[in-house]
Chains A and B, each alone.
Chain A
């Protein structure tokens, strides 16, 4: 009995996904061989694996160049000091190109910033809308109109507003970073906002009554009753919102040429070399994989904070 069960879960857990992946790879390789673009053949798994290795070597080479850059800088500064002991010496950041791995890090930081900005607005606003039906009625048309707006429509507006309003002599944050982060925030605001509203509005009446009987103050009511009860819905919103944000970010980076994976894809497209398609495919896989990992991360968090440990989450 026990052995049958474990073999079944073995099949479901490992064998089936493996079969799926192998079939996918075969179909991919098979069809790639038959697609001829003006940049050569469409890359199959083998070419993509080569490009993954290439990108790895490039990353290592860039790090070597970086070390050499700092060494040269130190020597130059030493010379400057020898000539004029009072000279002010500043260490300048490395000016070389960002590698594929650098671009991934940039994208992750940007999406995190946008996601945090969005939810600092969306969750409180959602709670207010959920608690008060009249507030919800007032907000609803605005939510419904802005929810379906594509990030690409926001981007030019965000760019112009940021350039006009964010003027500092030595800015701490890059304008391009702000542009991407704000665009992401504008687009991933809505899923959390709507789900929080629904979650809060549909709290069990018994819980609300308990709160009333105990005469809890509004703040305590929100903290002890509303938020815990609405957590599953809030997290559903957060997961949707993070997934939206990740998709939006890549598009925004591509269009605005802001650093990150989107720019990597666009640059490679513009290069038009015989390796370009393979490298873009690497980026596609990386984007997918990271999106998946982000979703798993949110799911784990959701399981951690949810009070109903038996709820089925997928």
Chain B
């Protein structure tokens, strides 16, 4: 249906970039690594692109930058291009040809909450048994509610992966994270909530937790490890344990940009693919070097040790309780970079589950939105160019001839539910907490 409109399928040699001076935005998180590496290793320059990378204050500023053209592209939350395209928040047609990483987030609670929570958690060899479910947090939340204290938690943006992960984890443990009702003008997301979630920019999470404004948060690295280092909180679970190998950030471009500058778009993806591969090569052998790059003040800027904690395959929960999680950050393996439609649809189902999409939608609607935002055609053109140049091998990519864009049903969720991207409405029926079917918040 869509293939007729694809301008990127031609296999002719890739032309010069139409626009070669580019400015990309990013947020100070370790998962911006592909951008930093593509810049520092000269991959952008190899494509004839002169790229400036600019840290942005928060996700809203970043998105507005891409919409009004101050930024040519940006490191984005997977939900952002989807939400912008369907008009939740600012409306604009943003597309993504490249998935930046899998996993990489964690949920941290304050020391006081951890002390209460820990009493409920089974121990083995003196250490808590992981993964830690929100069931153990539920009594703590209830005691706060009994005392009339709101249980506040932080996440980074209403359509962020972190919001959906935190909600998923809380709801799986029977804690209601609240609904949105944009049709009634309520975008606080706290209707019926037992835990009240609000937005805090990632770098300010530890400080907000320390100030006692929130009792926990869900954020990307290094801001969970930062809490351990500062001794102000304890990470209880990583998103790898909530949903193994979940898709995380994407690289977002304005649709207009991809139409006006097709060669530039493909070349950007080429550079990013090389960077992603470099990051995962030889069992993360390049990670220490990547950490050094990220610790520079113009990128993430946190201390080397803090970033290294999670980037080099380990994760420190309670102080001293450091465990191996080799896949905590995945940039390339498991086809991490391919923009799967099923990933897009999962985010859309979560928007529906929590009321950001207030009306019931048909399965076809989910497919259509996913196809208008996720652009494997651009990805494919870039991958094929790299294969042709001998830079990469066809085996490193999905088999383009047969790839449907839908991953097989995924089972690795903390609550044991199964996600099949080809049946979005049926998927939502499984959850006791959350909107489904014809539900509309009145």
Contact = CB atoms under 8 A, between A and B. Distances in A.
Contact of A267 (B204, B232, B297): B297
B21 interface: yes
B57 A266 contact: yes
Interface residues of B, number: 32
B28 A270 contact: yes
A121 B381 CA distance: 55
Nearest to B303: A273
A16 to B, nearest CB: 38
B57 A257 contact: yes
Interface residues of A, number: 26
A272 B203 contact: yes
Nearest to B230: A38
A270 B48 CA distance: 32
A76 B48 contact: yes
A92 interface: yes
A310 B133 CA distance: 79
Contacts of B306: 273
A163 interface: yes
A272 B20 contact: no
A163 B301 contact: no
Contacts of B207: 38
Contacts of A270: 28, 55, 203-204, 301
Given A270-B203, A271-B297, A273-B301, A92 B210 contact: no
B302 interface: yes
Contacts of B70: 163, 175-176
Contact of B302 (A72, A73, A271): A271
Interface string B76-106: 0000000000000000000000000000000
Chain A interface main SS type: helix
Interface in B183-214: 203-204, 206-207, 210
A97 interface: yes
Contacts, number: 66
B56 A257 contact: yes
B369 interface: no
Contacts of A93: 21, 50
Nearest to A268: B297
B42 interface: yes
B206 A272 contact: yes
Given A38-B207, A163-B68, A271 B300 contact: yes
Interface string A69-109: 00011001000000000000010110101000000000000
Nearest to B54: A257
B28 A38 contact: no
B50 A273 contact: no
Interface in B15-53: 20-21, 28, 39, 42, 45, 48, 50-52
A175 B48 CA distance: 25
A95 B51 contact: yes
A273 B302 contact: yes
| Chain B CB within 10 A, most for which of A39, A76, A175 | A39
A115 B407 CA distance: 59
B249 to A, nearest CB: 18
A140 interface: no
Contacts of A175: 70
A175 B64 CA distance: 13
Given A38-B232, A268-B301, 10 more contacts: A38-B230, A72-B42, A72-B45, A76-B45, A163-B70, A267-B55, A271-B297, A272-B301, A273-B295, A273-B301
6 contacts: A38-B207, A38-B232, A93-B21, A95-B50, A163-B70, A268-B297
Interface of A: 38-39, 58, 72-73, 76, 90, 92-93, 95, 97, 163, 175-176, 257, 266-274, 276, 279
Q: Which 10 A-B pairs give the minimum distances between C-beta atoms?
A: A271-B301, A97-B298, A270-B203, A92-B50, A38-B230, A95-B52, A257-B57, A273-B303, A163-B68, A95-B50
